[in-house]
Structure formats: C-alpha cells, structure tokens
C-alpha cells in the first residue's frame, strides 16, 4: 500500500513539474512576442497579469480579461484573443485556436521566432468577439491561382 501511495505522489510531483516548466516556457514566449510587438510592460512578468498585457497588446477590450476567467464562456474570449494574435502574425484560425490556447507554450515560441513582419494594420484594429468578419475580409492564406488558369490568361 505504501508503494502505491509513493507512486501516486511521484506521478503528482512529475505533473506539477511539467506544468511549471510549461508555464515558464509560455511566459518566456509571451515576453518575446510582446517585445516583438513593442508592447512589453511589467505586467508580462507577473503571473495572471501577463494575459492582461497580451489583451492590451492585441487591442482587445479590457473587460475581456474578467470575462475570460468565467468557466466555459471564457473560452470564447480566449479563442477570440488567440485568433486576433494569430492574425497579427499572419497565422490562420486553426493555428491560433490550437497552438495559442491548448499548446500556448509552443505557439508563443513559434510566433516569437516568426520571420514575417507583424501586420500593423491588424494589430491596430479593435479586437472583436470570434473575429469572424475580420477573417472573412482578410483571409490569412489567399489561394494561389492554379497553373491551368495562368496558362489561359
């Protein structure tokens, strides 16, 4: 029985260590992203306030910070913020909703290391809930004309 208890405690400790490492990787990536956007403030170094700093950087309404803390409903605000941040770095909604929410530590590092310049126009726009209209107007990946249509023209 004692070995089972020790095994459970060791697994729990390993999970906590992985979570702490993932959080520090996320925070490091967020700081690099905010620096790249020229929006780095002291909030980025404080747990919980670093998300507020991100919302300010993407020009989202300040009330989103509180609304994002609500279980279930908050995921809509978090997802909308992720899509806006992804659009700023020329990334599509699929990347944003996957790698800037669930896989945030990896996604932030990918954005920070991106070679494309930041879309200043998108960054200056006010963030909207679900960002659907903005995505339809400015799709992140415009389809390339096929070779057959190029030969006709």
* pLDDT per residue as tens digits for the range 44-78: 888 888 889 999 999 999 999 999 999 988 888 99
Which three-class secondary structure state does DSSP give residue 108? helix
Give the whole-angstrom CA distance, residue 147 versus residue 87. 28
CA angle 94, 100, 104 (to 5 degrees): 135
For the chain, state the CA radius of gyration: 19
What was the pLDDT predicted at 2? Answer: 85
Give the whole-angstrom CA distance, residue 34 versus residue 144. 32
- Whole-structure pTM value: 0.79
* pLDDT per residue as tens digits for the range 91-143: 988 899 899 988 999 999 999 999 989 999 988 888 888 776 666 666 656 55
């Amino acid at each position: 029985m004692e070995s089972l208890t020790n095994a459970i405690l060791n697994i729990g400790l390993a999970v906590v260590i992985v979570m702490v490492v993932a959080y520090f990787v996320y925070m490091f990536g967020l700081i690099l992203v905010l620096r790249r956007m020229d929006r780095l403030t002291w909030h980025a170094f404080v747990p919980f306030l670093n998300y507020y700093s991100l919302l300010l950087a993407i020009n989202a309404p300040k009330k989103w910070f509180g609304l994002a803390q609500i279980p279930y409903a908050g995921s809509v605000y978090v997802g909308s913020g992720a899509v806006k941040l992804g659009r700023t770095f020329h990334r599509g909604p699929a990347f944003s909703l996957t790698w800037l929410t669930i896989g945030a530590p990896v996604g932030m590092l990918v954005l920070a290391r991106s070679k494309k310049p930041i879309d200043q126009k998108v960054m200056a726009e006010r963030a909207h809930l679900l960002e659907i209209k903005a995505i339809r107007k400015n799709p992140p990946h415009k389809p390339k004309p096929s070779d057959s249509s190029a030969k006709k023209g």
